[in-house]
Every structure is written in structure tokens, then in C-alpha cells.
Structure 1
């Protein structure tokens, strides 16, 4: 019976290419963009039709302000706020981040709002 000894291999540190960092950096960028995208409010087809029919225009700055206020309301537990602006009233689903409907202020004066649990006055 012959027994052979296996030669020991020296432990050499393995070097990896730095491409891993590029990939993770790229992934982080994509993740950040995805997160940013989920922060923006979406407009439902119904709300978009109402905005167009009623000729309600909301600037990018106003949308950002609305988004910030919806975020604050959501942190306080509000799920479906009514947003009152100078020219319009919007009902927003905070969880889905979607504008459900829109009306001008003249219509808003005549309406009774249901299925809301908070109000944001801008």
C-alpha cells in the first residue's frame, strides 16, 4: 500500500477586478432613480381628463409642493387627503401616490367630499 502526501499549496491572496464596484455603483444609481420616481405623484386617467376639461394647470413647483405636503400628511397617517389650492381641489391616494380626481374651486364650493381622511390647504 502506497500512501502519497499531497503537496500543500501556498495561500496566495486572490485579486479581484475592481469592476464589482462599478456594477454596484451603477446599481445604486438605478436604485436611487427608482426611489426618486416613486416619490412623484401620478395622475390617474380620470384626474387628467378633469384637469384638461377644466383647464386647470399646475406648475412643476406646485406639484413638488403638493408632493411634499402629501408626504407629510402620509407620515401623520392620512391615506386620502383633499388638497385645496387657489385654483383647484385634488383628491389624492397617498399610498398609491396617485391623484384620483380634480376640480376647480367653483365646483369645490358646491361639493361634499367623501372618502377623505385629511385636508391639505395650500
Structure 2
């Protein structure tokens, strides 16, 4: 007998992909959860259908591009506080990409252009 209230972490389910988006959003406060989500996305990549593959690719891109944007922002802080503005822009980009991914996943659709550097 299985408990229908259990959270599924099977890489072949949308629940796993949604959990990764949630971990990414929680990382805004906690930080380390994005690394957990990245590892989960890499482990699940290649095990799901085309829709899930699209979302796992999107999640991997979100992590690495978000990290790059953050590092550039930290480097730019001494230049008239430009890093603060770019950091805020990177945060908005990160949130928008995660939310758009979650919306597409819940609608059963792939993310449009998961490799995009913009929104």
C-alpha cells in the first residue's frame, strides 16, 4: 500500500522538476538549496521524457547563468555601486526564469528557449 501524500522524487515525474524550481527559489533565502537542485537536475537529465528534459536543461541553465550574473555583480560593486544594480537585475532574472519554468511545467508545456540569456 502506498501513501498518496508522499512527495515523489522520481526523475520521470513533473513533481521532481517542480521541486527543483522550488529549491531554486528557496535558495534566495537559504542559498545551499540551489546546489541541491542543480545536482538533482543533473541526475535526472536523460531519464525523463522530452518535456522533462527541456525543464532540466532550463534548470541547469538557470543555475549556471545566475551564478555568472552574481559573480559579475560582485566584481562590479566597487564601480560606483553598479554591482548592486546588476545584482538586483540578476535576482529579478532568476526569479522570473524560475516562475516561468514552473508555470510552463504546470501547464504541461516546455520552456521556450531554455538556453536564453534573457527572460
* TM score, norm. by length of structure 1: 0.30
Higher strand share: 1
Normalized per residue, which structure has more helix?
A: 2
* Structure with max Cα Rg: 1
